[in-house]
Amino acid sequence: MLKTLSLFTLVVALSFSLAEAKPGGSRLSASAESLEDIDEGFQELLDSVVRLDVWETTFDKGAKRTRHGVGSGVIMTDEGHILTNAHVVNPYAERIMVTLNNLERVDAELVGWDHWTDLAVVKLDAGELSRKGLGFTHAAFGDSEDLIPGQTVYAVGTPNGLSRTVTRGIISNTERYFEGSRVGRGYETGNFNTWLQTDAAINPGNSGGPLVLPNGKVIGINTRGYLGAENLGFAVPADIAREVLAGLLKDESITRSYLGLRLGPLQDLENFYELDSNIGVLVQSVDPGSPAEEAGMRPGDILLSIDGQEVDGRFPEQLPAIQNLIASQSVGSTVDLRVKRGFQTMQLPLVTEKLESRIGQETAFEAWGLGVQKISRSTAREGNLENADGVVVVGVQPAFPAYEAGIRRGDIITKVNRQSLTSLETLESIYSAYEAEPEKVLMEVNRNHQVVFIVVKP
């Protein structure tokens, strides 16, 4: 998405030119030599690539703002479903406008998103398409598993707002790994997949566009690049994107399991743990209050197998597959882990939980000048809170009621008018009543594990 200082932007500068689009489809304009290795399917792919203009709600010190950004996407179904990045379109989107290949603009709505893989799906407004008499073509996936370094690929999208732009490059690496990545508002990403690396040109605004073969098959969704570096672009592999697209179309979200294990590579450590090569993965840390901690797992343990399936985490690039094996278990199911601790090997049964982000839903109550974020399960456990009830203050407007009452960033509001904040909707309901008839509000605040009672006056 075209945003200042965003590392999650993507590709495209011209390596061959595109003629100005005409109604019914864009046409290539290039020498015969430049088209020798391009299939007719490539033209259909070009017609399926779209520009996304997104207006989304942001929050700044207790005030709501609207921010506009530009990204790319590719139509992947005959019903008009567009695959793009989660950092391009998210649940805070107020409006999504799609520019088709013939330059016509159509509204779209968010179907679902998955920040863990940085993928999202939006759907074209069928009614508007019908009223305007518009049609579209859609692309198809290729097999990213078969890719090899050196293979020719094309990146298509909207760099810096310039629609229908193409660059040619090669696959530089098929299993690039990034540890501890973040996307958008700080959401976790990349735990369950590696990326394709390409040397196609990188520019802001190309996020969400397809990485394709000369035959037009989509083998990746362009996702990230390094600002200040040349020829370093990265895409989510098609084999991952295909699964996420299917899951989002079915359930509008992707459900994964969680055990609370932070894994690390065993490279160069096997001798210290008396292990054979290519067996096991290191447990670097265990999340507080997680199923793994409850079962007695500790940092330094070696995970040997999951439900009888041996794991090999010698190298960093192998970690996402192991994390994905855990995530693919049914939520609430029992998973048997074979663990080595010192000279002892043990079997530990763990009951999985639903994977949740540590980033909670955010909103602002402007009459109070108060910005809050719902407390996540992880935040509650790490902060030794009794439960995940309440909201954490992420912004306060000076001179507004909350600030004047003494509310500060980092405070945790657990109750308002003696009512527990079990959900963000509870606080929104209280706030709506305040807007209708402003009056004093009693807030119970957890500040450094001490309870403070604060009266917010209109």
Q: Give the amino acid at 116.
A: W
CA 458/CA 455 separation, integer angstroms: 10
> Which DSSP helix (H) or strand (E) runs through 378?
helix 377-382
For residue range 69-111, what is the model confidence (pLDDT) as tens digits? 999 999 999 999 999 999 999 999 999 999 999 999 999 999 9
Whole-number pLDDT of residue 186? 86
pLDDT mean by block of 10 residues, the chain; 458 residues: 37 30 40 57 94 96 94 97 97 97 96 97 97 96 96 92 88 89 85 93 84 96 82 93 98 97 91 85 96 96 96 94 96 97 94 96 96 94 91 96 96 96 95 95 95 96
CB 203, CB 160: distance < 8 Å: yes
239 is catalytic: no
Whole-number pLDDT of residue 30? 41
138 is catalytic: no
CA 333/CA 351 separation, integer angstroms: 5
Given the residues 6, 48, 81, 87, the one annotated as active site: 87
> Which DSSP helix (H) or strand (E) runs through 322?
helix 319-327
Whole-number pLDDT of residue 269? 87
Choose among 143, 315, 151: nearest CA to 238. Answer: 143
Question: Would the CATH topology of 1-254 be identical to that of 257-354?
Answer: no
What is the sign of the dihedral through the CA atoms of 45, 50, 210 and 122? Answer: negative
For the chain, what are the domain ranges?
1-254, 257-354, 362-456
According to CATH, what is the number of the domain 1-254? 2.40.10.120
- Residues forming beta bridges with residue 72, ordered by sequence position: 51
Whole-number pLDDT of residue 18? 31
DSSP one-letter code for 330: P
Question: In sequence order, which ranges of 13-81 are alpha helices (DSSP H)?
Answer: 41-48
Domain 362-456 part of CATH 3.40.190.10: no
Q: 257-354 sits in which CATH class?
A: mainly beta
449 is catalytic: no
For residue range 222-240, what is the model confidence (pLDDT) as tens digits? 998 877 777 789 999 999 9
Gyration radius of the chain over CA positions: 25
pTM of the model: 0.88
Given the residues 47, 114, 118, 411, the one annotated as active site: 118
